[in-house]
Structure 1
């Protein structure tokens, strides 16, 4: 097995939305805002090369939305999914599986693209199976009003129409389920229903793809929950349970949305879980 961080592109989000009820005087210490109160956000995917499988975990925002749509998110930097794949010796047609932690547009938008004459949409990975889970698919395709702007039908329905969509089966374990793709999955419901958090054993360590259970290192304190979470009190409970496991098992946390830190570890303190160290991926795994 070999893992590759894939940078799909950076954007910005409102700092208050990303930290909910936490005061700006606290969150701005780790996530400084610009004059418009926007903070730097990444859309960092992870590519898993395992035997004859090439699995991409999340796909970023993509590039098919309108200029008006992208004006809300202030994209910056030079990263793109195709460029990052190419830098690691791959192209989209090589991908055998696309695993989506959840179906908010910033996690799955790159899965679907315009067709050649821009009359409709098609899978961006023509040889891949797209993986979600049945409960989350139902949640996303019949969205509640709060999340409806994040579940875009042009990102979802083409997966089903293509015949390339499959569902991960949730096992009986309340914590970690082994998946068809060869890694463990933690199901969490605070941010959105049945978000999936991959746990991958790699080079004698466990790397956890954090998705929106932990967006950035600034979100490590248990009460630091985003304003986007649908069930914030549940998020706190899930996060506390996870953090205790992460500390006890020396997990390396792969940060999808932290534009400036790829990995971190956490430790116990008298104030609860806190940052231990940040790391580049290459410093730990290469």
Structure 2
């Protein structure tokens, strides 16, 4: 049980959508009643804040350190105000949740985290493909990549698994990522690059390990998530589905 003032909210909005109506009702309620909001206008649709209180202070999260954010939170506690942190995606995945949670717990500050939809799940939706599935794979891996040796070795291990992989923050090193996967998988392995999934400026590039660099160089996107795996074009296995259903029926009869 958290100690402290219960109306100090550590809120993470996700939605990942250019449509203000796409975020959760609970998130909307907290946004509209907050006295302080940490967010970034670079990643969040401004229309989300049209119903905030006139007295609400909206602060750029990237211009404050974690300790400065903690000071604002303490101020909100002292004033009996509601403070929220609004971001895209889900806080548990490449978010700022760790640095805040640790400070809040050590200072006995009550908070709540509202889960969101990360870029991989949003991309799966716009691609109309399941990241796992019968006869495709049971394993889905999220990772990030930079050109350090440790990052390369980790990605090599992941590539060798043959499962569905989403690579965050990897566009600037796309050629290296493709080379790593090509060493472990067929050049026909499908790949999709999804930029701003579910937003009004959403963009999707399809290809495979053998041709994606040519396609990407011709039709560049700004940022984007890299998705690699047979889930993008492999047919659903109905025979495996029937076997699975029969097995479950036998278990029920027992």
> Which has the larger strand fraction?
1
User: Same-fold call, TM > 0.5?
Assistant: no
Q: TM-score, normalised by structure 1?
A: 0.26
